[in-house]
Amino acid sequence: MPRELKYVERCSGANHNDEAWIAYVDTSKSGRTVYFNQKAFIRASGLVTGNHLDVDDHAEFWISGVKKRGSNRHWAGSGKILIERTAVSEYLQLTGLPSLDETRFEIVDPFPPVDEAEFHEYFNRPWANDEPDDAV
């Protein structure tokens, strides 16, 4: 699984003040599934605020590349972005910033890599049809 530096934000309302991270994520071969913080997220269309769904609780998340200008949060959002300690150097190099703005970021320990095998059963389960064949 390729590891990439991404911006991840939970989207639970219109205020755009939800939890947000800059961290390394793993992706599936197709790129449609993102693994982060012991969770799997699938790309979905037609969502109101996010572009990925948590496969466990169907919460919406915005997952994107890190913006070079450093403005990852929605313009109406606020709150600190948690950034993995191991990602700080790459983030600063990518954005060209000399240091992190401590009013916007909080450095946290790295998240453990996700074991993709944990989600193998979920992604390979048979589709269930709960309705009887003669249902109208």
- The pLDDT tens digits for 56-87 are 888 889 898 998 887 787 777 788 999 999 99
- Domain assignment present for 41: yes
- Domain assignment present for 94: yes
- Domain assignment present for 64: yes
- Domain assignment present for 135: no
In contact, 111 and 136? CB cutoff 8 Å: no
**Average pLDDT of the chain?**
83
Domain count, the chain: 1
Does the pLDDT at position 136 exceed 70? no
- Domain assignment present for 129: no
- Domain assignment present for 13: yes
Average pLDDT for 23-32:
89
Q: In this structure, what are the phi and psi dihedrals at residue 95, rounded to the nearest 5 degrees?
A: -90, -15
- Domain assignment present for 134: no
Query: Model's pTM, two decimal places?
Result: 0.81
Does the pLDDT at position 4 exceed 80? yes
- Domain assignment present for 136: no
Average pLDDT for 24-36:
89
At 111, the amino acid letter reads: F
Is residue 14 very low, low, confident or very high in pLDDT (cuts 50, 70, 90)? Answer: low
Who has greater pLDDT, 130 or 23?
Answer: 23
Beta bridge partners of 4: 25
How far is it, in rounded angstroms, from Cα 90 to Cα 71? 16
Average pLDDT for 31-59:
86
Does the pLDDT at position 99 exceed 80? yes
Q: Structural domain of residue 83, as residue ranges?
A: 3-123
